[in-house]
Amino acid sequence: MLSYNRLSLSTPKRPQSKSDSHMTDITSTIARRTPQPSLLPDAEARKRLRRRRLMKDNASRWGISTAGFGVVFALALIFVYLFWEVAPILRGATVERLASHPLPVSEAQTQTVLIERYEELGLQYSDDGQVSFFELGSGALRSQLPIGVPQGVSISSFGSTEPGTQTVVHGLDNGQALVVRHDYSLSFPNGQRLITPKLTYPLGQAPITLDEQGQPLKLVAMESRTRGRAASMLAAITADNRLLVAELSTRSNLLTGETTVQSKRFELPAVPGEPVRLLVDKALRSLFVADSAGKIHYYDISQPANARLVASVDAGQGAAITAMEFLIGTVSLVVGTERGELSQWFLVRDEQNRYHLTRIRDFKGHGAAITSIAPEYNRKGFIVGDAKGQVGVHYGTSSRTLYLKSFTERPIERVAVSPLNGRLLVQDDQQVHVAELWNQHPQLSFAAMWNKVWYEGRSDPDYIWQSSSATDEFESKFSLVPLSVGTLKAAFYAMLFAMPLAIAGAIYTAYFMTPKLRGIVKPSIEIMEALPTVILGFLAGLWLAPFTEEHLPAIFSILLLLPVMMLLFAWLWTSVLPAGLRQRVPDGWEAALLVPIIIGFVWLAVAMSPLLEIWFFNGSMRQWFTDIGITYDQRNALIVGIAMGFAVIPTIFSIAEDAVFTVPRHLTQGSLALGATRWQTVIGVVLPTASPGIFSAVMMGFGRAVGETMIVLMATGNSPVVNFNIFEGMRTLSANIAVELPETAVGSSHFRVLFLAALVLLALTFVVNTLAEIIRQRLRTRYSNL
């Protein structure tokens, strides 16, 4: 008002004319007659405004809530779907009886019962020299074929080779053995499958003389192989308890088809006890004899002429052995006793390269004498029958007893499983029973996937992932421990590389750097996040890994000495250089001076690398690591840490820089006003206030590293090992899923365990993110009073 009055007094007034006075009167009259609008809305308008605002608030609240619940629902659906795919792993086996009927030949003693691969026919070997093929559903006799036992000779013993070979051997009472293979011909008359049984003789139709003294063979065993010195090995115990083996090789005439058998017979050291079971492994190197006292005698027959008894072990622990069979591959023995105990044994090699028959694991007992063991055709499972009529379904590798229930009221004499593991044949002393078997994933158990497992051929239990092999007798190894450790290992080294650079860079950029330079640095680092990880993996695998191997001293010099060089430069800048020179550089531009220092030091480290290897590591740092017992792989965790670190740095940097930059200015200015230095302000004020955001940045980076696929897939040896050696590779959960899921059969055990790996990965990230959010909220509450 004062200024207005002064202006009015100092400004000369223009004389007012009559026209001006008239216009003023007209304007005043119009202004008095025209209603002036109010600056504030009336009550009705305010009501409409409140109603509109309330509608917007409600729409926003419901929209945000719906979106939030949608995210939670989507995450829950992912968990539900993964659990749905994993759930069959937890299911045990089921056995459902389909039919019961008498055996085709009931007058003679049954030697074994079997099922053909189409699960349509069963067959019965009997001691009258006949093979009877019958329909599983009705029990009707389809065909009956003689095996060709010579006149006046009877069968005194029976043995079978590995189930998939479909070959059996009959010991005769004249010291000879007859080898028979049952086979089938397929035809499709009128569009219907017709299975026609037939018998073949892989060693010729004539019996093979094993005992020249003509003693009856009371136990007989046989195995064959396709490579090596001998094609087959035949072993027998004679009536006078002599142990005989014969090497057999065959030669077939291409024109006539006649098979000529050449044999070499050897007598082994006598069995210390009364033999009850005899087995030969497929490698034709080991012979196992079980006696009536519960002991297993292990013979080395790799050189039959010098065969020897290696050891005798007490497998029954005071109980008689009533059943003993090989699992597929003829490496593991499954032993059943009269007390119903079941155990698995195989040869373990010690440090002196000597083999010992070792008890590996025990299974749930049956409570009654084990009468029959039937190994599965294509995996390490087996079916067991006992004297109480119980049927048990067990699996070796996973140590699982998947089914153990009473099946019949009478003692079970024999059991058989089909090659497809879909049918069971159970024989008691009166009839044979056909049952449907569901046993899809016996090799999977949480104990086998998370604990050490003693696999065949290993000297001790271990964590191993090996999902496939070239042979059917392969023992699936589905330990998730190497994959989980590999995931944490890759994330640990990536975070070890990325965290210091990203957090320190974020603090400097947000608090010390000039705005102009910050406007260049921050977008440049954030653009790094758009770089495809497959490119980083490609560069890491094809360029960084060989470069690191050739310049190991340079890499360690850069990682360890470059920070020291930067601190030394900072000390020289602040304490040695003249103040006038320092003042020529504006505040916030000091970091630009480090660029030539870093480039020069990196060049010097690479140039000095060969000399350092000569001076300190005898010419090769890699060989020096090998000499001191440290394994070095070209693609290792160091490469992954550097490559993945570059992928993680932008995530951590961007979030942490925003957290530091948004610290209220009055806090930092107040700290400086009270006499604190800029670094004291950073440590005492900025970092505590920004700690929730920095912690979130670290957790986001960790989640990014845990889920990374392409870099670890291309920059590591992709080997599932359990260690944190920085010079060895790893295999992560995500990389394993990416590699193996396209190759696995849908619904298989391998397929299910890969989904379990995905569930573990999702659960790991979910738990980490949840804990991170809880800690972030607590940090935010703690430092909110600042």
**pLDDT digit string (tens) for 457-503?**
898 999 999 888 767 678 889 999 999 999 999 999 999 999 999 99
CB contact set of 206 (below 8 Å; sequence gap of 6+): none
Per residue in 279-290, pLDDT (tens digit) is 999 989 999 999
pLDDT value at position 478?
Answer: 92
Helix (H), strand (E) counts: the chain: 19, 31
Span 89-95, average pLDDT: 90
Instruction: Give yes or no for residue 759 having a pLDDT over 80.
Output: yes
Can you read off the two tokens belonging to residue 545? 């890994």
**Cα distance between residue 535 and residue 537, in whole Å:** 5
**Cα distance between residue 524 and residue 519, in whole Å:** 9
Q: How far apart are the first and last CA of the chain?
A: 43
* Distance of alpha carbon 445 from the chain centroid: 13
Instruction: Give yes or no for residue 136 having a pLDDT over 70.
Output: yes
In which band, very low, low, confident or very high, does the pLDDT at 766 lie, cut at 50, 70 and 90? confident
CB contact set of 263 (below 8 Å; sequence gap of 6+): 208, 209, 234, 246, 247, 248, 249
Per residue in 411-448, pLDDT (tens digit) is 999 999 999 999 999 999 889 999 999 999 999 988 88
Instruction: Look at the block and give the residue holding tokens 């290993």.
Output: 458
pLDDT value at position 13?
Answer: 46
Burial class from Cβ neighbours inside 10 Å (0-12, 13-18, 19+) for residue 366 reads buried
Per residue in 32-48, pLDDT (tens digit) is 555 555 566 778 888 88
Can you read off the two tokens belonging to residue 446? 């949480």
- Secondary structure (DSSP) of 349-414: E-TTS-EEEEEEEEE---SS-EEEEEE-SSSSEEEEEETTSEEEEEETTTTEEEEEEE--SS-EEE
**Cα distance between residue 682 and residue 677, in whole Å:** 9
**Cα distance between residue 562 and residue 610, in whole Å:** 18
Can you read off the two tokens belonging to residue 113? 């019962």
Q: Give the CA distances from residue 754 to residues 88, 681, 760, in Å, rounded to whole numbers and listed in that order.
A: 13, 50, 10
Find, among 340, 328, 416, the residue nearest to 373 by Cα: 416
Q: Mean pLDDT, the chain, as a whole number? A: 88
Q: Is 372 left (phi over 0), alpha (psi -120 to 50) or beta?
A: beta
* Distance of alpha carbon 130 from the chain centroid: 49
In which band, very low, low, confident or very high, does the pLDDT at 266 lie, cut at 50, 70 and 90? very high
Can you read off the two tokens belonging to residue 503? 């957090």
Q: Are 719 and 640 in contact (CB under 8 A)?
A: no
Question: Tell me, what DSSP letter sits at residue 302?
Answer: S
Q: Are 395 and 443 in contact (CB under 8 A)?
A: yes
pLDDT value at position 785?
Answer: 63
Span 18-30, average pLDDT: 52
pLDDT value at position 771?
Answer: 84
Find, among 397, 396, 347, the residue nearest to 373 by Cα: 396
Element (H, E) at 748: none
Instruction: Look at the block and give the residue holding tokens 């008894």.
Output: 309
Task: Count CB neighbours of 468 within 10 A.
Answer: 11
Tell me the angle at which helices 515-527 and 637-661 cross, rounded to the nearest 10 degrees.
140
Domains and CATH numbers, the chain: 105-314 (2.120.10), 315-460 (2.130.10.10), 481-782 (1.10.3720.10)
**Cα distance between residue 335 and residue 323, in whole Å:** 6
**Cα distance between residue 711 and residue 718, in whole Å:** 11
pLDDT value at position 10?
Answer: 42
pLDDT above 90 covers a percentage of the chain that reads 56
Instruction: Give yes or no for residue 200 having a pLDDT over 60.
Output: yes
**Cα distance between residue 634 and residue 628, in whole Å:** 17
Can you read off the two tokens belonging to residue 777? 């909220």
In which band, very low, low, confident or very high, does the pLDDT at 14 lie, cut at 50, 70 and 90? very low
Q: Is 749 left (phi over 0), alpha (psi -120 to 50) or beta?
A: alpha
Q: Per residue, what are the HEC states of 276-298?
A: EEEEECCCCCEEEEEECCCEEEE
Can you read off the two tokens belonging to residue 629? 């017992």
Supply the Cα-derived Rg of the chain in whole angstroms.
41
In which band, very low, low, confident or very high, does the pLDDT at 12 lie, cut at 50, 70 and 90? very low
- Secondary structure (DSSP) of 116-169: -TTSSEEEEEETTSEEEEEETTT--EEEEEE--PPTT--EEEEEE--GGG-EEE
**Cα distance between residue 146 and residue 125, in whole Å:** 10
Task: Count CB neighbours of 700 within 10 A.
Answer: 18
Find, among 128, 134, 196, 123, the residue nearest to 160 by Cα: 123
Tell me the angle at which helices 552-571 and 590-616 cross, rounded to the nearest 10 degrees.
140
**Which contacts qualify for 47-51: CB closer than 8 Å, 24 or more apart?**
none
Instruction: Give yes or no for residue 277 having a pLDDT over 70.
Output: yes
- Least confident residue range of 222-226, 658-662, 717-721: 222-226
Instruction: Give yes or no for residue 126 having a pLDDT over 70.
Output: yes
Q: Are 305 and 326 in contact (CB under 8 A)?
A: no
Q: Is 111 left (phi over 0), alpha (psi -120 to 50) or beta?
A: alpha
pLDDT value at position 529?
Answer: 85
Q: Is 389 left (phi over 0), alpha (psi -120 to 50) or beta?
A: left
Span 124-149, average pLDDT: 92
